[in-house]
Amino acid sequence: MTLFLIGLGLGDEKDITVKGLEVVKQADVVYLEHYTSILGVDKAKLEKFYGREVILADRELVEQHAEEQLVKLAKHKNVALLVVGDPFGATTHTDLVLRAKAAGAKVEIVHNASILNAVGVVGLELYKYGATTSIPFWEPGFEPETPYDAIKENKARGLHTLCLLDIKVKEPSKEDLQRGVSTPRPPRFMTVTQALESLLAIEQRRREGVLGPETLVVGVARIGQHDQRIIAGTIAELLKTDFSKPLHSLIVPGTLHHVEEEALEQWRRG
Ligand SMILES: C[S@@+](CC[C@H](N)C(=O)[O-])C[C@H]1O[C@@H](n2cnc3c(N)ncnc32)[C@H](O)[C@@H]1O
């Protein structure tokens, strides 16, 4: 029996591959990992299209209870874990595969599109991206400058930077549960505006001239969905732009080839 990790792609319930759908239809149990990314449709729509019940798997289940739940189950049942995008678009799942194999479970992967390659639609050469970085929500005592450093290092080598933006899916804490509050707090998704504000705040501190209001950036939202949005402009311009519903990402271009410059023109406004 097997643990299947199945990529769902980026759009809606119909982006699953034929191979992925066959596994889902035959699996004994189907989980949906829903804390590293989201689709443009909800669980009910997936269940209707797949004709299967889908169980939501939160971070705690995948990261802390994988051994007792997913891995143990996969020893005598076919378990499908659905992942938005590609299963390896998030590091969490490499860890899960390693632990499942170590516990003697069979693992199979069904790939799909990820934000890491779909971002090619913007027109910046995928081969010319440097390290991808994540911009987290700041909290008291937690204001990391790693995204700024990644952009700085990539820029120095003429490379583009893909910035993935934080998703905070809050499960009720132990204290909440003790107080009888069991409903999860609503999830928070970082916007392009919040990401730019955070980068500008770091620039204010560091003053290394990595970026400023006149820097050209590209904001993207809901790539692969029917209402995807791509806008290229200066940071000052994009700070005033509403990209609407999640998920958002930000790209800071490096040195531009003339074809890349031409590609960005199609996303400029005005
Ligand atoms: C940890 S990554 C998830 C990777 C996912 N497994 C994949 O392969 O695409 C989540 C972040 O990627 C970005 N992202 C994912 N899907 C996106 C989309 N369709 N449009 C824009 N950004 C997206 C967002 O910044 C989001 O917070």
pLDDT tens, 214-239? 999 999 999 999 999 999 999 999 99
Q: How far is the CA of 35 from the centre of ligand 1 (A)?
A: 11
**Side-chain half-sphere CA neighbours of 106 within 13 A:** 8
Class of domain 2-113: alpha beta
Pocket, ligand 1, Cβ cutoff 6 A: 10, 36-37, 83-86, 89-90, 114-115, 164-165, 167, 220-224, 247-249
Please write the tens of the pLDDT for every residue from 102-140: 888 899 999 999 999 999 999 999 999 999 999 999 999
Taking CA atoms only, the protein residue closest to ligand 1 atom 13 is 164
Task: Tell me how far apart the alpha carbons of residues 231 and 246 are, in angstroms, rounded to a whole number.
Answer: 15
Q: Predicted confidence band at 175 (pLDDT cuts at 50, 70, 90)?
A: low
To test the ligand 1 pocket, which listed residue (94, 110, 247) has its Cβ within 8 A of the most ligand atoms?
247
Residue 154 has pLDDT above 90, yes or no: yes
Task: Tell me how far apart the alpha carbons of residues 54 and 31 are, in angstroms, rounded to a whole number.
Answer: 6
Residue 183 has pLDDT above 80, yes or no: no
Residue 177 has pLDDT above 90, yes or no: no
Instruction: Burial-class residue 259 by CB neighbours within 10 Å (0-12, 13-18, 19+).
Output: exposed
Residue 95 has pLDDT above 90, yes or no: no
Task: Tell me the percentage of the chain whose pLDDT exceeds 90.
Answer: 74
Residue 239 CA: distances (Å) to CA of 39, 200, 246: 25, 11, 16
Please write the tens of the pLDDT for every residue from 32-42: 987 888 888 88
DSSP-assigned states of every residue in 65-115? STIIIIIHHHHHS-EEEEESB-GGGSTHHHHHHHHHHHTT-EEEEE----H
Q: Give me the CATH topology for the region 116-265.
A: 3.30.950
Buried b / exposed e along 235-252 (16+ C-beta atoms within 10 A): bebbbebebeebbbbbbb
Phi and psi (nearest 5°) for 53?
-75, 135
Q: Are 214 and 236 in contact (CB under 8 A)?
A: yes
Look at the block and give the residue holding tokens 């970026």.
Answer: 211
Instruction: Kindly state the average pLDDT of the residues 177-188.
Output: 69
How large is the greatest C-alpha to C-alpha distance in the chain, in angstroms?
Answer: 60
Ligand 1 atom closest to Cα of 40? 19
Task: Tell me how far apart the alpha carbons of residues 248 and 221 are, in angstroms, rounded to a whole number.
Answer: 4
Residue ranges covered by each domain of the chain: 2-113, 116-265
Look at the block and give the residue holding tokens 């620039």.
Answer: 203
